[in-house]
């Protein structure tokens, strides 16, 4: 049997990211009904867990890339004024 905290991974991630199950499903390639079924049956398949983990990692990389680009823009602006 899966650990309870893993089973609620779908619920936790959707809430943290402010996404509905439908929106989260679209992002990771699952249907809303599959996500709801996973939560209601207290099951989390390995592929679903991996899809969510990869999605979260991708979101972190996007955020870091955006922050890096913002920093580069700020440095360019600063250096152009010197």
pLDDT of residue 80: 93
pLDDT in tens, 2-43: 555 555 899 999 999 999 999 999 999 999 999 999 999 989
- 22-26, 40-44, 56-60, 69-73: lowest mean pLDDT where? 40-44
45-72 burial, b for 16+ CB within 10 Å, e for fewer? eeebbebbeebeeeeeeeeeeeeeeeee
Q: What is the pTM of this model?
A: 0.78
Under 8 Å between Cβ of 30 and 3: no
Task: Parse the chain into domains and list their residue ranges.
Answer: 4-80
- In residues, how long is the chain? 82
| CA 19 to chain CA mean position, Å | 9
The domain made up of 4-80 has a fold known as 434 Repressor (Amino-terminal Domain) (1.10.260)
């Amino acid at each position: 049997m899966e650990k309870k905290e893993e089973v609620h991974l779908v619920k936790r991630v959707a809430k943290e990211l402010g996404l509905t199950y439908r929106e989260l499903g679209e992002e990771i390639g699952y249907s809303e009904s599959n996500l709801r079924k996973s939560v209601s049956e207290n099951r989390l398949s390995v592929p679903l867990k991996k899809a969510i983990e990869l999605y979260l990692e991708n979101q972190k990389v996007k955020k870091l890339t955006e922050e890096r680009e913002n920093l580069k823009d700020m440095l360019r602006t600063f250096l152009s004024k010197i």
